[in-house]
Structure 1
C-alpha cells in the first residue's frame, strides 16, 4: 500500500492553517491552536507520519469530550533556579512542551542547565518536532515521556504489559545539520502497529510477542486474545537493554513528577521530562560544535556497509525531507486527510487545495 497520499501535495502554510482552524473551531484559543498545529505539521514535514497530523482527529475528539483542557495555564508545583515541576492540567501537550522549552532555555542561560518536568500533560506528538528549536539556539535538549494511562510493552522476560513505548530523545547543534535522536525504548510504537493492523500489514521483523510467548511480526497479536505486547528495544535477544531504558524514562518522568503508574488513570496523555543544557556554561558553543562537527565528519566518512548507502546522522534525512517538503508541499500519508474530512465538515473548515505531486 502506498505510504503517501496519491492525490498530491498540500502547501505547508495551507496545511498549517487548516489544522489551526480545526483546533480553533473545536475550542482551542489562538495561541494553543497555533502551537499544536505547528508541531503536528512539523511531524509530517520530517516524515514522522504516525505522530504528525494523523493525531489531529484524535486531539479534536479529546477536545470535544473535554478530555483535553483548552483554557488556562499549567500549575507551578515547585520551582528552583534550574528546576521546575508543572501540573499540565491535561492541557495540549505540544503547547505545554514549547512553553517548557522556553522556560528551561531561560534557566539554562543563567544556570547552565534547566529542567521542567510536567505531570498530567495531554499527548505531546513527535519528540523530534522540538529538537530543531533548541539546536537553532545553540542548546542541547534532552526530552523523554511516558503515558501512565496505558501499557503495551512488557518488561524483558515477561508477557504482561507495564510500559508505553517510552521515547527518549535528544537534539543538539553540530555547526551544520543538527542531530535529532528520537527513539522508542521498545522495538516499535503504538502508532505504527495500529496503522499496520488497520492496513493488514506486517512489521519488518518479529518485534512483538504474542500472549503465548512467541515472537511475531503480525500486529494482530496485540489485539487477539490472549493479547500480545510490543517487545523492548533489542527484542528477544537483547531486550534487557530496552527494558533498562524504559525504566530510566519512568524514573525521569513519573518518578520526578511524583505522578505515574501508581495513580488512577485519567486518559490519553503524557508525563514529560525536558532538560536543556547551554554549552556556553561549559567549554562554549564553538568548542561544542568543533567536537560534534568532527564526530559528524568521521561518521559520514565511515565506509558504508552497503554500497551506495552512505552513513547519515540521526535526523539528517528528516531535516532534508522537511526542507524539501517546505518547498514542494507536504505529501500526507494515505488516510490522514480522510480522517480529518468529517471534522472539516462538522466544524465548517475549508479543506486545503491539493496540488499535483
Structure 2
C-alpha cells in the first residue's frame, strides 16, 4: 500500500506505517473551526481558536496546538468554559485596562486584550492590560506577534494550573507561567521569545505520555523530591522543575513568580496553588493574564535598525558546531513554518491523527485529510 497517498481515514495498513502524516495548515484550520462550531461556538470564536491551534502546530509547538483540543472540548462538555461569552472592560485609563474575561475561551480573551493594548500603545506609548476570568490561551507568542504586525513591542505572561515545584520544594504550587516577548527589526525580521518558567511545558509531558516515552532526567520530580523519568507517573503524581535545573532553578522560580505577580495577582484572578488542576477537577479556570505593548516611536529613533543590527551580529557569530548556526529566538519557529510550507503541511503522528479521526466521527464533521 502507498502510505504517501492522501487518505481521510486511518486504515489498518496505514496504522502500521511508521511515519508522519502531512496535513496542510488550511486543513487544520478547517477541521478545528468545524469542531468548535459543532460544539456551539459562534463563527468568530471558532475562527479564533482555529487560528491559534493551526499557528502553534505550524510553528512546531505541537504541545499547544492540536494536542490541546481534547482539553478544550472537555471544558466545554463539563460546562466550565463558555463559548458564547465575551470579555468586558472593568476599569481603564489612557494606558491601562482591567478586563474580565467572563470565562470565555482563552484565545478570545487574549485577542481582545492584545488589541486593546495595541490601541493604547499607539495613542499613549504604552498599553498594559490584565485579565481575570480567562482560560488557557494556547501558545503564548501568538499574542506578542500581533503587536509586531503594528510595529510595536509586545509582551504576554500568564498563570496556569499548579504543576511546578518551587525551587527547593517537593510539591507543586505554581504554574508553568509562560512569558513571551517580541521586538521588531527591519524587513519583517523580529526577536520572539516564548518560554515556560518551568524547565519544560506541561504539554510536552503529555506528548511523552501519549507516545509512551521516558522523560529526560531533570524534567520532573516525584513526591520524594527525586527526579522521575516515567512520563505517566510525572504527569499524574509528580511536579515539574523550574527553569534552570538543579543548580539554577531559583531563576526559573523567580520568573514564574514574577509572571504570577503581573497576571493573576494584578488581575484579581485565582493564583498559584489555588488554581484548579486542569483536566483533573471540574472547576472554572479563572486564570490571570497580562498583555502589554510598547510603541518604539515614543523613544529613541531607529529602534528597528538597531534591533536588526544586534540580531544579525548574533547570527553571524562563529558557532560551536558549524552545522548549527547561532539563532535568535523566533528563528526556530520561522524555520519550522518554512519547512512546513515546503512539505505542504504539518507532520502529525498516527496516534494524533487516530484521535482526531475518532473525534470527527463523534461530532459528525469531515475528518482531517492528510497526505
Shift in CA distance, 296/223, structure 1 to aligned 2, threshold 3 Å: closer
Q: Which residue of 1 aligns with 2:290?
A: 273
Shift of 1:220: 4.1
The alpha-carbon distance between structure 1 residues 300 and 125, as it changes in their structure 2 partners (threshold 3 A), is: same
Alignment deviations for residues 69-94 of structure 1 (CA, whole Å, 9 cap, x no partner):
01232122211111111111210111
Work out the CA distance in 2 between the residues paired with 1:15 and 1:8. Answer: 12
Secondary structure, aligned partner of 1:335: helix
Deviates more, 1:323-332 or 1:309-318: 323-332
Hey, what does 2:243 align to over in structure 1? 233
Partner of 2:62: 49
Deviation, structure 1 residue 333: 4.2
Cα RMSD after superposing both structures:
2.0
Q: Residue 189 in 1 paired to residue 167 in 2?
A: no
Instruction: State the shift of 1:243 in Å.
Output: 0.9
Alignment partners' CA distance in 2, 1:19 and 1:59 = 11
Residue 5 of structure 1: CA displacement?
A: 8.5
Q: How many residues align?
A: 346
Please state if 1:63 is matched with 2:51: no
Shift of 1:341: 2.1
Between the aligned partners of 2:294 and 2:201, the Cα distance in structure 1 is 28
Q: Does 1:200 align with 2:212?
A: yes
Match of 1:304 in 2: 319
1:190-242 CA-partner distances (Å, limit 9, x unpaired): 11112213333223342222222223444344257xx4311111111011111
With over 3 angstroms needed to count, the CA separation of the structure-2 counterparts of 1:200 and 1:41, relative to structure 1, is: same
Question: Counterpart in 2 of 1:212?
Answer: 224
TM-score by length of 1: 0.91
Report how far residue 257 of structure 1 moved: 0.5
1:167 and 2:178 correspond: yes
Pair 1:255–1:313, CA change in 2 (3 A) = same
1:157 is paired with a residue of what secondary structure?
A: coil
Matches of 2:75 and 2:182 in 1, distance apart?
A: 29
Query: Relative to 1, partners in 2 of residues 1:52 and 1:134: Cα closer, same or farther, differing over 3 Å?
Result: same
Secondary structure class of the residue paired with 1:9: strand
- Provide the C-alpha distance between the structure 2 equivalents of 1:280 and 1:23, rounded to a whole number of angstroms: 40
Q: CA–CA distance in 1 between the matches of 2:167 and 2:235?
A: 20
Query: How far apart, in 2, do the equivalents of 1:102 and 1:204 lie?
Result: 39
Between stretches 174-183 and 6-15, larger displacement belongs to 6-15
